[in-house]
Amino acid sequence: MSQTISVELDSQPIELCKLLKVANLVGGGGEAKVVISEGYVAVNGEIEYQKRKKIYNNDVIEFNSDFIEVICHAPVIETPIKKRQQPTAASPKKNVKSKTSEKSAAKVGRRKKISF
């Protein structure tokens, strides 16, 4: 049996996977991403595969015979896109060659612990 769920948001847009979680149609974010990538979710009548698809006011999402209607009266908030910094004439690209010593060449087959 299908039902229509109205979700009122304080700000827009919201990512599709987060909307499925907010509407309690999935158990968690991982499940939301799987059902979207498998093609079980439609946005405004078309199958959507983008997990982070931005959803806006009056969009209708269909999943598992349920419908979600998004309601938001706040203006759209877009995040700025970061641009890559281009090298300037003052700071040209440097050609960096990797140096391998005989000692490290002998350790090729060993695992190296990397911490972040």
Digit-coded pLDDT (tens) for 32-47: 999 999 999 999 999 9
Domain ranges of the chain: 4-71
- Quote the pLDDT of residue 11: 82
pLDDT of res. 36: 93
| CA atoms of 24 and 33, how far apart (whole Å) | 14
pLDDT at 93: 56
Between CA 16 and CA 33 the distance in angstroms is 9
Q: Which CATH code for domain 4-71?
A: 3.10.290.10
Greatest mean pLDDT range, 3-12, 86-95, 96-105: 3-12
Of 41 and 85, the structure prediction assigns the larger pLDDT to 41
Mean pLDDT for the chain overall: 77
